[in-house]
Amino acid sequence: MFADLKALAKGFWTTLRHMGRPVTTVRYPEQKRPGSANFKGRHRLYRYDNGLERCIGCHLCAAACPSQAIYVGAEENDPKAPVSFGERYARHFEINMLRCIFCGFCEEACPVEAIRLGPEYELADYHRHSLVYTKEMLLDPEQHAPKRQYHADVDRPRGPLGGLPDQETGVSGAPPGHRDTDTGARPPLKQVL
Amino acid sequence: MHDALISLARSAVVVAVLMTMMPYMTLFERRVLAAMQVRCGPNRTGWQGLLQPLADGLKLFFKEDLLPRNADRMLYRLAPAIALFAALAGAAVIPFGPTITVGGASVPLVVADLDVGLLYLLGVSSLGIYALVLGGWASGSKYSLIGSLRAAAQVVSYELILGLALVAVVLVAGSTRLGDIVQAQSQGVWNVLLQPVAFVLYLLAACAETNRAPFDLPEAETELVAGYHTEYSGMRFAMFFIAEYVNMVVVSAVAATLFFGGWLGPFWPGPWWLLLKIMVFMFLFVWLRATLPRLRYDQLMRLSWGSLLPIGLLNLAVTAVIVVATSR
């Protein structure tokens, strides 16, 4: 009898005590938790420091994509005014975000680190066509992404990337595995495994 | 004519206060419950969620009013009305202040100052059970039926306990008129000090009568979908919902009146004191819900017939002996 009453009192005291605690709820739109450095959100296309696009239009990302969300339309570079470093460049580069499953295979397939998944995850919108991303939107989301889908506090480019490849050997400027030293990015998959 | 107008005004005020309190009680309950569970609760609609009850009401108002094919049409439509009527009618005998004088006429601050106030309360609270039983039966659904069966058995058991607790108070106060019971406590000795056992019994029985957790077996959402109101939608559901909260307010008001001196209190006018005491009891109800899990059906029955009934009878007998002994 008294043990029961004691248990009852303990229960009531527990609930009452919890009233004074600060709530654990994250008030989401105002308060955002920092995402993981590995988070796979919206893609970005990257450039070299001298302004050349990294993408060489090789279609490897499109081939690796399990949901066939990527379309690459490649063209020969004009030698006088090249768009990218290699022979070819991507004239069209589209990702259908409605099909994308954010697996990151495109990123792993890319030989020149042209495409990477970023931290942006607030991608909801009202129209299907606004979720098919063009090359401009992927290269420069700050300017070209739909207003509802770009959030300066979330979407930050991930760097640093390797520099321009050596003209003769074709080897990228930065040492391999440079992402280990970069606190904001993910180590190569081989090292993780 | 003049008296009729005054009566009408008093009824209107009481109904208006109850119907205004009810939606805010839902918000109060949700916020307190959330705080006890270290959550926020509804705080988006308006400042601190103050418009949430309005939004909920509007939503329910525009919902479709469904009538199940197997339903007994008349009873199905009648049940929510009975629930709401019984809940509001209970508030009629609760005094919320002393007799005041308005324009030369003395106005007692109670809708109906009945000599048999407590009997009336018991009667009206039994009437409210018909809503649960009929609503569950008329829905033509097994969950509703099980819910209403539970309601019937539970309320029969706990009405007895309620009666025993109230009779003990009547013995102490010497009247069944609620105004007299309040006046009997005006010496500063609240009935809760004279009748602590009756108070605990009343509290448990009141919880069971209003079908609140941990005695919410008739609607036991984890087992019976929603119990007796499973098939109800829109405003008919809302009427059951309003009735439940109005019942809570009435039961709290009765507890305050019988055991805590009703509207009596220093400094403030009577209605404010009654309101404060009601709020304390409302908090207690929410606190109970946040703390205790639902009782099993056999535990509920054993608690009623095995523990509370003998305690209540003993308390009544001892009270009667003491009252007789001291009155000579």
Give pLDDT tens digits for B285-319.
999 888 988 888 888 888 888 888 999 999 989 98
Residues of chain A falling short of pLDDT 70: 159-160, 162-193
Grade residue B98 by pLDDT with cuts at 50, 70 and 90. Answer: confident
Tokens 């339309």 belong to which residue? A73
> Among all residues of chain A, which has the CA nearest to that of B285?
A12
Contact call for residues B198 and B168 (beta carbons, < 8 A) = yes
Other CB atoms within a 10 A radius of the CB of residue B315 amount to 20
CATH assignment of A45-154? 3.30.70.3270
Tell whether omega for the bond before B214 is within 30 degrees of 0, i.e. cis. yes
Helix residue ranges per DSSP H, chain A: 2-19, 60-64, 105-109, 135-139, 141-144, 178-181, 189-192
Domain ranges of chain A: 45-154
> Among all residues of chain A, which has the CA nearest to that of B35?
A19
Of B32, B38, B291, the CB nearest to A24: B38
Global pTM? 0.76
Tens of pLDDT, residues B250-291? 899 888 888 887 777 777 777 888 888 889 999 999 998 889
State how far residue B276 is from chain A, nearest Cα, in angstroms.
Answer: 19
**How large is the average pLDDT for residues B14-35?**
88
CA A26 to chain CA mean position, Å? 23
State how far residue B40 is from chain A, nearest Cα, in angstroms.
Answer: 6
User: Is residue B36 in some structural domain?
Assistant: no
Complex prediction ipTM? 0.73
By a Cβ cutoff of 8 Å, what residues of chain B touch chain A? 32, 34-40, 287, 290-292
Contact call for residues A113 and A54 (beta carbons, < 8 A) = yes
Say whether B39 and A24 touch across the interface (CB within 8 A): yes
Q: Which two tokens stand for residue B208?
A: 């069971």
Residue B206 reports pLDDT greater than 80: yes
Other CB atoms within a 10 A radius of the CB of residue A128 amount to 10
Residues of A within 8 A of B280 (CB-CB) are: none
> Among all residues of chain A, which has the CA nearest to that of B36?
A19
Instruction: Provide the residue range defining the domain that includes B68.
Output: 63-98+112-327
Structure confidence at residue B314 (pLDDT): 92
**Domains of chain B: total:** 1
User: Is residue B56 in some structural domain?
Assistant: no
Grade residue B324 by pLDDT with cuts at 50, 70 and 90. Answer: confident
Structure confidence at residue A101 (pLDDT): 92
Check CB contact of A18 with chain B, cutoff 8 Å. yes
Check CB contact of A26 with chain B, cutoff 8 Å. no
Check CB contact of A15 with chain B, cutoff 8 Å. yes
The percentage of residues in chain B with a pLDDT greater than 90, rounded to a whole number, is 4
Structure confidence at residue A184 (pLDDT): 47
Say whether B291 and A25 touch across the interface (CB within 8 A): no
Say whether B36 and A15 touch across the interface (CB within 8 A): yes
- Report how far apart, in Å, the C-alpha atoms of A160 and of each of A46, A113, A144, A189 are: 10, 11, 22, 17
Tens of pLDDT, residues B46-55? 888 888 888 9
Tokens 């990294």 belong to which residue? A54
Strand partners for A181: none
Structure confidence at residue A165 (pLDDT): 63
Mean pLDDT of chain B: 85
User: Is residue B305 in some structural domain?
Assistant: yes
* Nearest in space to B121 (alpha carbons), one of B147, B99, B80, B89: B89
Say whether A18 and B34 touch across the interface (CB within 8 A): no
